[in-house]
């Protein structure tokens, strides 16, 4: 039944086509990849740490310090990758929220052709769309704040790991006489 006061939306708006793109994984990329490594001094992979042939013939303190330096370098790279993954996740979430806001705004623009307070159904739809936009904007702000707090925590852990890394490198150089 056709109702002249209720807009008829085209099918591409009511039922948008689903994209066949699978969700992006957020891997911890490039732990052993030197070109993606921010800290070239700590670029040894975990496998190289385990199977390192240069450690034979060193005394115990050199081995302990070298293991600690390698572990701190790997920790710093891992934290940096966590920060990058959280940034990518935040950007994807914000894009989805922005797409939903644009969709609601398009619905509101279609309803704008009808005068205010003429039909209760149109006013209810207008109110629901405005409430949905407000909720989505609040969700957007929440996502930004959550990502910011996560990244601040990760950055502080990264600074601590880099400080420990630098101090252990200096200690190992002092102990080994370099």
Q: For 49-86, write each residue's pLDDT tens digit.
A: 544 545 555 677 778 888 888 898 899 999 999 999 99
pLDDT-derived band at 39 (thresholds 50, 70, 90) equals very low
- Confidence class for position 6, pLDDT limits 50, 70, 90: very low
Mean pLDDT, the chain, integer: 78
Q: Predicted confidence band at 1 (pLDDT cuts at 50, 70, 90)?
A: very low
Long-range contacts, stretch 6-11, CB < 8 angstroms, 24+ apart: 6/119, 6/121, 6/122, 7/110, 7/111, 7/113, 7/114, 7/122, 9/107, 9/110
pLDDT, one tens digit per residue, over 125-174 is 999 999 999 999 999 999 999 999 999 999 999 999 999 999 888 888 88
Quick one: pLDDT band at residue 10, thresholds 50, 70, 90? low
In sequence order, what are the residues at sequence separation of 6 or more whose Cβ sits closer than 8 angstroms to the Cβ of residue 52? Answer: 44
Q: Which residue from 144, 122, 132 is spatially nearest to 102, judged by alpha carbons? A: 132
pTM greater than 0.85: no
What average pLDDT does the segment 95-105 reach?
Answer: 95
Domain ranges of the chain: 59-176
Q: Is the pLDDT of residue 9 over 80?
A: no
């Amino acid at each position: 039944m056709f109702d002249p006061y209720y807009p008829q939306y085209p099918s591409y708006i009511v039922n948008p086509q689903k994209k066949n793109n699978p969700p992006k994984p957020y891997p911890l990329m490039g732990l052993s990849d030197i070109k993606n490594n921010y800290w070239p001094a700590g670029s040894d992979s975990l496998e190289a740490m385990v199977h390192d042939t240069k450690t034979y013939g060193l005394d115990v303190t050199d081995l302990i310090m070298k293991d600690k330096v390698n572990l701190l370098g790997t920790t710093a790279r891992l934290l940096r990758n966590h920060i990058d993954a959280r940034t990518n996740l935040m950007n994807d979430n914000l894009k989805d929220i922005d797409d939903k806001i644009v969709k609601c705004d398009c619905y509101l623009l279609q309803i704008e052709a009808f005068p205010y307070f003429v039909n209760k159904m149109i006013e209810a739809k207008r109110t629901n769309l405005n409430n949905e936009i407000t909720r989505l904007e609040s969700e957007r702000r929440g996502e930004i704040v959550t990502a910011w707090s996560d990244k601040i925590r990760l950055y502080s852990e990264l600074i601590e790991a880099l400080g420990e890394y630098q101090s252990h490198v200096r200690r190992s150089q002092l102990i080994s006489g370099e």
